[in-house]
Structure 1
Amino acid sequence: MARPRAFDEAAVVESARDQFWSYGYAATSLDDLVNATGLSKGSIYNAFNDKHALYLRTFESYCHDVVAQVATHLDGPDETAVERLRSLFDGIASGNGPTTTPSGCFLTKATAELASLDHEVQTLARRTFAQLENLLFESVVAARRSGSIAATRDPRKTARHLLAILRGLDALATAGVEPDVLADAVTSLATSVLT
């Protein structure tokens, strides 16, 4: 009979995620993960198989959390849908959005580092982008129903436009671009897209 694990798996995944998030996959060694999680190398291998499998667990967890946070942020009545969309982008520009932290966006970092090299990371990133696009689409449809966005605006194309801007803002914020540059982009978005 297998012995029960003597550690909190969720806490270990979170600690490993913070390590990968800060330093990336390539620059994180197994010794770094031992120090971050408090587990031995053997325990890491027994619980997660290898560094790559643990990375995927951390990345999938992050992606799930980001989608859930954006869904919560965008949820509400049709009449305020456009304001919630604007505040989502304002939050990213100001560093207070659901995907922004002092370490930058893990989704942005992981995609830049590994998506072209690692099919599983690419698959998780693409699934997350599709989920975010659908959330934006639903908000655009709600804003159209309330008359806040022109009825002639194509909701799917608008959602894809917003997703591209969202990911661009995250990438710029992750790179440390000045907040006023991001704020200018959001102001342009509000006048050209969210009307």
Structure 2
Amino acid sequence: MGRPPGFDKDKVVQAIERQFRRTGYAGTSVDDIAKAGGLGRGSLYAAFGDKSNLYLQTLAAYCDRTETAWAAVLEGPDETALERLRAYLVKSARFVHDDPDRLGCMVTGFVVEGVDHDPQANERVRQALRRIEGSLTECVQAAQRHGDLEPEAGASEISQLLMAVNRGMEVMAKAGLDATALERVADQAFEGLPLTARARSRQTPRPVASDAL
């Protein structure tokens, strides 16, 4: 099979990205990649190079998109910073279940699989995690400035905790824990933050979805 008419490189990359997210680097063959992208082997190699290079391209594109998406959730004025941290947890709880194929994060998949075929891929994953942690830290600091989180609490440590909860909920979702249970985990994690007395007095219970799976 040659290159199809109207070949759209971005769409092909996204389709192949989902294949890597579904079966991992080691579990994805060149034939799997070609089928997912709707390309013949010759067109695949001509457009993207070998499997390792294609994985790096799809991983980089995924990281770019993920960093932008989380920054959009977390950036904003000080007065709504606490609500944005809660939104981060809620979105984390629903991340896998909101995907029609129940695919997890490509970054998490890379780390769990232990892919070490390319130091560039390893560095890109580390960069993505640093950038997301940076967005979280800035949001935590904004909540502290507004008086919603205790000022003496370590912003970096809170950010790392939230990232650990994010990754843990993804793994539990992949293992079969339903969305409603994960939202309760998100609520418990939020309540465990070093909220000030003023912030706790303003909190109201968040409605939990009833779409248990």
Shorter-chain TM-score range: 0.7 to 0.9
Q: What residue identity is the alignment partner of 1:133?
A: E
**Stretches (4+) displaced over 6 A:** none
Partner of residue 26, structure 1: 26
Q: What residue identity is the alignment partner of 2:71?
A: A
Partner of residue 160, structure 1: 160
Q: What residue identity is the alignment partner of 1:35?
A: K
- Unmatched 5+ stretches in structure 1: none
Alpha-carbon contact 1:140-1:149 (below 8 Å) kept = yes
Matches within 5 A, 1:140-159: 140-159=140-159
Partner of residue 84, structure 2: 84
TM-score, normalising length: structure 1: 0.86
1:108 aligns with 2:105: no
Aligned mates of 1:13, 1:126 — CA distance in 2? 21
CA 1:71–1:88: 2 relative to 1, 3 Å:
same
Once the two structures are superposed, residues 103-160 of structure 1 have per-residue CA deviations (whole angstroms, 9 ceiling, x without a partner) of 1222222221134565333222211111111000000011011111111112122212
Partner of residue 12, structure 2: 12
Aligned mates of 1:37, 1:112 — CA distance in 2? 25
Indicate the RMSD between aligned Cα atoms, in angstroms: 2.2
Measure how far apart 1:6 and its partner are.
Answer: 6.6
Aligned mates of 1:85, 1:94 — CA distance in 2? 15
Once the two structures are superposed, residues 156-184 of structure 1 have per-residue CA deviations (whole angstroms, 9 ceiling, x without a partner) of 22212222222222222233323344233
TM-score, normalising length: structure 2: 0.80
